[in-house]
Structure 1
Amino acid sequence: MIQDFFILCSGADADLLKTCSKGEQNKYAGIGATVFFTAVMAFIASSYALFTVFDNLYAAVFFGFIWGLLIFNLDRFIVATIKKRNNIGQEFLQATPRIILAVIIAIVISKPLEMKIFEKEINQVLLEQKNGLTLANKDQLALQYTPKVEQLNQDIAALKNEVLIKEAETNALYDIYINEAEGTAGTKLLGKGPVYAEKRDKHDAALAELQALKTTNAEKVLAIESQIATLDTEYAEVVKNSQPVIDGFDGLMARITALDELPWLPSFFIFLLFLAIETSPIIAKLLAPKGEYDIKLEEEESVLSTWVEQKLAQRKLIASTDSEINQKIYEDLKGEEELYGYKKKKAEELLRLQADSFHNIQTKGLK
């Protein structure tokens, strides 16, 4: 039963193969087994590849099964259509499209399994990429907030500098009225005279302005610092909201890109393995020697081809003979006087009817 199933997979004529030896049946059962297990490998590999895309087991298995059936049907068709005619060049030419397709399929299927085999290494590469993306994302987002924060810090510095300048002016006025009282500057009169009182009043007024300026600027600084805190909070929130996008940077394309950064030799050998698996049904058929089944199949095809050629030749001969006979018959009829008179009589009747019909039409037109 298993042998019958594998013979079915090989695409061979089961009835014709039953008339062959057991060795010939085993050979085609082996070719059919290769076709079947190649389809199974295609199903497994494509299911995993699709699972990395859809992240849904049922969808991956369903479409993987469809892909496996496609590969099975394609391999079975090509293996069945490669005819053993002791001409390896012609056989290889028949298999060339499937070999090219096998290379493409091997590349497509080997990549997901390579990603599974080198999953830990790929995760390490992705982690480094995510860290780089996180830092780059923070720097990029900071460009939106840093100019505003720097401008606000400059405003705070300007307000504090304004207070320092006013303090310097007030301290200078303080030194002036103290020196006036001590007689070391100004009028150089010791004691608190009118000039001292005037300079003291200027100092006191400046001191009052300084206190008012400190209070006003302190309130402004607090307001600006509140704006800076708000911007810092917004920046942290934006970074936090964008981080899940970076954390989710582990899709199929990202993993393929990460895989390309790993050494190429292990991936190349895995590709060769799948290429060998994909081309194994074709290689098995090409390497199989011409056997009893192939000879009998060639004989049946030859019989059918000969029969069709005979039928076509007979039809052409019948048509040619019939044409010659008809030509001879019409040549003989040319000399028959009775046939000539009959044709003449009918022609005269037709002309009379045409003349009568034309006359009736003209008469109706004149009324």
Structure 2
Amino acid sequence: MLKQFFILCSGADTDILNDCSIGEQNKYAGIGATVFFTAVMATIAASYALYTVFDNLYSSILFGLIWGLLIFNLDRYIVSTIKKREKVLDEILQATPRIFLAVIIAVVISKPLELKIFEKEINQVLLEQKNELTLANQHQIAEQFNPKISELENQILDLKSELDLKESEVNALYDTYISEAEGTSGTKLLGKGPVYKEKRDKHDASFAELQQLKIVNHTKISAIESQILAIQKQYTSNVAKSQPIIDNFDGLMARITALGELPWLPSFFVFLLFLAIETSPIIAKLLSPKGEFDFRLQDQETIIKTWTLQNVAERKLVLKTDNAINNKVYNEIADEEEVMNYKRKKARELLQFQADAFLKKQKGVL
């Protein structure tokens, strides 16, 4: 049962192969097994690749089976259409397009399995890329808010500078009236005279202005700090919203790109492995000598080809003979008087009919 299944996978004509030797049947069973297991590998590879895309086990398995059946059909077609020829060069030319197709199939099959084999290394590369993307994303979002934050911080610095300037002015007035009282400057009279009182009043007025300015500026600073805090919260919110996109940056295309960052030699050997598996049925047929099945198949094709060519030749001969007979018959009756009179009569009737129809049409126009 298993042998018959693998023979069916090889695409060989079972009616012819059943009459061949056991060794010939085993050869095609081996070719069919290679075709079958290549399709199995294609199913596994496609299922994993699609799982990285859909993240759904059942959908991945379903589409993986469809892909595996497609590869199975292609391989079976490739193997079954390669026939043994008299010259090796003819066989190679015949197999060249199919080998190119096998190479393409091998690439498609091997790439998803490479992703699975080097999954840990790929995850490390993806982690580094995600970290770089996270930093770049934070920097880009910060560029949207930093100018506004800098502007508000400058406003706070201006308000604080205004307070510092006013406080310096009050301190200077304080030093002035104290020096006047001590007699170390100004009138240099010890005691609290009119000049001292004038300077003290000026200081007290400036101090009252400083207290009022502190209240106003502190209120403004608190409002500006609230704006800065709101902007920082918005920045944090934008970073949090965009971070899941970066965290999910591990799809099929990202993994293939990350695989390209790894050393190429291990991936190349995996590709060579699947290329060998995919092309092994073709190579086996090219290298194997012309066997009993090939001779029987050639004999059957020759019989059909000869029979078809004979039928075509006979039909051409019948057509040629029939044309010659018709030409001879028409040449013989062309000179008979009776035929000439009959043709003359019908031609006269046709001309009369045309003349009557033309006359009727002209009367209608007038």
What is the TM-score normalised by the length of structure 2?
Answer: 0.92
C-alpha distance in 1 between matches for 2:116 and 2:358:
95
Please give the residue correspondences for 1:30-49 in structure 2 after superposition, counting only pairs within 5 Å: 30-49=30-49
Cross-structure match for 1:272? 272
Residue 359 of structure 1: how far off its partner (Å):
5.6
Q: Where in structure 2 are the equivalents of 1:34-73 lying within 5 Å?
A: 34-73=34-73
Distance 1:297 1:208, change over 3 A: same
CA drift of 1:97 comes to: 2.2
Aligned-pair CA distance for 1:356: 7.3
* Matched residue, 2:19: 19
Q: Which amino acid letter does the alignment assign opposite residue 329 of structure 1?
A: V
Q: Which amino acid aligns with 2:272?
A: L
1:348 to 345, 348, 363: 345
Q: Distance in 1 between matches of 2:353 and 2:201?
A: 146
**Aligned residue for 2:178?**
178
Q: CA deviation at 1:39?
A: 1.4
Counterpart CA distance in 1 for 2:26 and 2:261 is 46
In structure 2, relative to structure 1, the CA distance for the partners of 1:346 and 1:317 (3 Å cut) is closer
Consecutive unaligned residues of structure 1, counting only runs of 5 or more, are none
CA distance 1:195–1:77, shift in 2 (3 Å): same
- Measured after TM superposition, the shift of residue 69 of structure 1 is 1.4
TM-superposed CA distance for 1:345, in Å, is 4.6
Aligned to 1:99: 99
State the distance in 2 between where 1:250 and 1:177 align: 75
Distance in 2 (alpha carbons) for counterparts of 1:129 and 1:353? 93
Cα distance change, pair 135–86 in 1 and its aligned pair in 2 (3 A): same
Shift of the 349–128 alpha-carbon distance from structure 1 to 2, 3 Å rule, reads closer
Q: Does the Cα contact within 8 Å between 2:163 and 2:214 map onto a contact in 1?
A: yes
2:116 is matched with 116
For 1:56 and 1:352, the matched residues in 2 are separated by 85
8 A contact 1:106–1:271 mirrored in 2: yes
Residues in 1 aligned to 2:309 and 2:191: alpha-carbon distance in whole angstroms: 145
Contact preservation (8 Å) 1:83, 1:91: yes
Query: Conserved in 1, the CA contact under 8 Å of 2:333 and 2:339?
Result: no
Percent identity of the aligned residues? 64
Aligned equivalent of 1:224: 224
Q: 2 CA distance for matches of 1:346 and 1:138?
A: 101
**Which string of whole-angstrom CA distances, capped at 9 and with x for unpartnered residues, describes residues 156-214 of structure 1?**
11111111111111111122222222222222222222222111111111111111111
- Judge conservation of contact 1:47–1:63 (CA < 8 Å) in 2: yes
Contact 2:79 2:282 in 1 (8 A): yes
Alpha-carbon distance, 1:354 to partner: 4.6
Q: Distance in 2 between matches of 1:153 and 1:173?
A: 30
Q: Is the 2:43–2:64 Cα contact (8 Å) retained in structure 1?
A: yes
**1:269 and 1:362, CA in 2 relative to 1: closer, same or farther beyond 3 A?**
closer
Task: Report 1:1-367 matches (<5 A).
Answer: 1-335=1-335, 339-345=336-342, 347-348=344-345, 351=348, 354-355=351-352, 358=355, 362=359, 365=363
Shift of 1:361: 7.3
Spell out, residue by residue over 1:5-46, the C-alpha distance to the aligned partner (whole angstroms, 9 max, x if none). Answer: 222221111111122222111111211222122111111111
Report the Cα offset of residue 87 of structure 1: 2.0
- Alignment CA distance shift 1:345-1:12 (3 Å): closer
Separation (CA, whole Å) in 1 of partners of 2:3 and 2:177: 120
Partners of 1:175 and 1:356 in 2: CA distance: 140
Deviation at 1:352, TM superposition (A): 5.2
1-structure distance, mates of 2:253, 2:353: 90
Amino acid at match of 2:337: Y
The alignment's TM-score, normalised by the length of structure 1, stands at 0.92
Distance 1:217 1:351, change over 3 A: same
Greater displacement, 85-94 / 197-206: 85-94
Q: Distance in 2 between matches of 1:360 and 1:250?
A: 86
More moved, 98-107 vs 114-123: 98-107
How far apart are residue 272 of structure 1 and its match? 0.7
Aligned partners of 1:45 and 1:112 also within 8 Å: yes
- Relative to structure 1, the CA distance from residue 210 to residue 332 in structure 2 (aligned partners, 3 Å threshold; closer, same or farther) is closer
User: 3-state DSSP class of the match of 1:319?
Assistant: helix
**Letter paired with 1:47:** S
The superposition leaves residues 198-244 of structure 1 with CA deviations (integer Å, 9 ceiling, x where unpaired) of 11111111111111111221222222222222222222222222211
Structure 2 distance, partners of 1:356, 1:176, is 141
> Which letter does structure 2 place at the counterpart of 1:229?
L
- Label 1:108 to 1:353 Cα distance change in 2 as closer, same or farther (>3 A): closer
SS at match of 1:12: coil
Most deviating of 356-365 and 40-49: 356-365
CA gap 1:334/1:244 in 2 versus in 1, 3 angstroms: closer
Deviates more, 1:101-110 or 1:289-298: 101-110
Is the contact between residue 49 and residue 109 of structure 1 (CA under 8 Å) also seen in structure 2? no
Distance in structure 1 (CA, Å) of the matches to 2:180 and 2:357: 151
Shift of 1:92: 2.1
Q: Compute the RMSD of aligned alpha carbons.
A: 2.3
8 Å CA contact retained: 1:75, 1:282: no
